[in-house]
């Protein structure tokens, strides 16, 4: 299944016999909360999902956006109307990071029929509504483990003997700046692969063949082990995981990402433009 859907395709499906469950996951790192924007206008039928409170656990030693407890995540998805056979479409304001986080979590917990609206709400030209929907309770029961998940040790091993991509901006990878976490730099052996290079100027993903060429040039092999990916706190890394899947590779997410790694003073830190 294609992990993304165009606005035109979504408009058609919303009038069909298998209307997808819509998740509005508007969120911006350091920005205003997404709920007011949702209440001001959202795609008809969409349910708001709070990334910080519902798609992540409490911040701590495991990072700024550790994975939520599966039971808690399952309750959020059931409230939104998700059942085992439900098609689901997640969207955000256009950056794609938050919607990709919802996509990854659903896939990781065993729900296969989930896609991200390519280009987010910015690509939607249909009507918006302000009413808050009350969907029928779903029956989704999460079964974690359907996608590869890395801890810090596994991420380090990927960087040494496989491929570990760093999805943050290049200046954070190099350690030139670090506006959020304890120290700047990257996991030794990780390769810089900013998420901004996965999309065109309008926020839509580049064609599969273009993405495949990008990741191949960075060292990915379709016949090799899953490609490890991390970011600052595990959110934009989900966007990179989505791009990898579009390109035909199998991604493995390090959910704790740099916020977990850099919080441990015993973990080595590399700086500069090169992997080591």
* Residues that are catalytic: 231
CB atoms within 10 A of CB 172: 23
230: Cβ–Cβ under 8 A, 6 or more apart, which residues? 150, 155, 164, 165, 166, 167, 187, 190, 237, 253, 254, 256, 257, 258, 261
Please give the Cα distance from 95 to 257 (Å, whole number).
19
Specify the residue for token string 């850099």. Answer: 262
Yes or no: say if 150 and 228 are a contact pair by the CB < 8 Å rule: yes
Work out whether strand 251-254 and strand 4-5 pair parallel, antiparallel, or are unpaired: unpaired
Angle formed at CA 230 by CA 150 and CA 195, multiple of 5 degrees: 145
């Amino acid at each position: 299944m294609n992990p993304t859907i165009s606005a035109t395709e979504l408009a058609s499906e919303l009038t069909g016999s298998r209307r997808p469950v819509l998740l509005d996951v508007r969120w911006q790192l350091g920005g205003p909360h997404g709920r007011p924007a949702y209440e001001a206008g959202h795609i008809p039928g969409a349910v708001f999902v709070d990334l910080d409170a519902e798609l992540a656990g409490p911040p701590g030693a495991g990072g700024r956006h550790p994975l939520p407890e599966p039971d808690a995540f399952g309750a959020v998805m059931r409230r939104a109307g998700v059942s085992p056979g439900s098609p689901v479409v997640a969207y955000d304001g256009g950056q794609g990071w938050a919607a990709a986080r919802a996509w990854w979590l659903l896939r990781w917990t065993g729900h296969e029929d989930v896609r991200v609206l390519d280009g987010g709400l910015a690509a939607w030209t249909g009507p918006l509504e302000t009413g808050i929907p009350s969907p029928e309770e779903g029956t989704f029961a999460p079964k974690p483990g359907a996608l590869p998940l890395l801890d810090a040790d596994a991420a380090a091993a990927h960087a040494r003997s496989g491929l570990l991509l760093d999805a943050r901006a290049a200046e954070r990878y190099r350690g030139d700046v670090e506006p959020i976490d304890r120290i700047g730099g990257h996991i030794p052996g990780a390769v810089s692969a900013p998420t901004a290079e996965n999309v065109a100027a309008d926020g839509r993903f580049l064609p599969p063949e273009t993405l495949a060429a990008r990741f191949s040039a960075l060292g990915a092999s379709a016949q090799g082990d899953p490609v490890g990916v991390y970011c600052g706190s595990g959110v934009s890394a989900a966007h990179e995981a989505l791009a990898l899947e579009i390109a035909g590779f199998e991604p493995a997410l390090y959910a704790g990402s740099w916020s977990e790694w850099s919080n441990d003073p015993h973990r080595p830190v590399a700086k500069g433009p090169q992997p080591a």
